[in-house]
Amino acid sequence: MKMIAIGTVSSRGQIAIPAAIRAELGLDEGAKVVFLMENNALIMKKAERKSWAELTEPLRRAKKLIREDQVVDFIHKMRREERKLHGKK
């Protein structure tokens, strides 16, 4: 579901999340949210309750696939593939 709403930042930096959005996300008082800022856009996501083991599992799996000294080459390879995919040089 897509929703759009406008909020106002208070003098204390607080923003009220519209009731319809709170209901859709199941955000009750005290719920935790995560903020991600990228390219002048702010994304807010409901924080899921996960254990440390669940949060770090992807990192442990990745560690088995690539060594630290391979990271830079891997990043360059992924960027080349992304440019090919989107027709950029």
> Domain check: are 62 and 39 in the same one?
no
Instruction: Give yes or no: residues 58 and 38 share one domain.
Output: no
Average pLDDT, the chain: 84
Q: pLDDT tens, 43-74?
A: 888 888 777 777 678 777 777 777 778 888 88
Which run of H or of E encompasses 20? Answer: helix 19-25
pTM: 0.49
| Same-domain pairing of 42 and 57 | no
Containing structural domain, residue 18: 1-49
Kindly state whether residues 65 and 40 are assigned to the same domain.
Answer: no
Which among 37, 34, 15 has a CA at the least distance from the CA of 25? Answer: 34
Q: Would you call 34 helix, strand, or coil by DSSP?
A: strand
Q: Can you name the residues that pair with 43 across neighbouring β-strands?
A: 36
Average pLDDT, integer, range 14-28: 91
H/E run at residue 27: none
Asked whether the predicted pLDDT for residue 84 surpasses 90, the reply is no
Number of domains forming the structure of the chain: 2
Tokens of residue 19, six digits: 């009731």
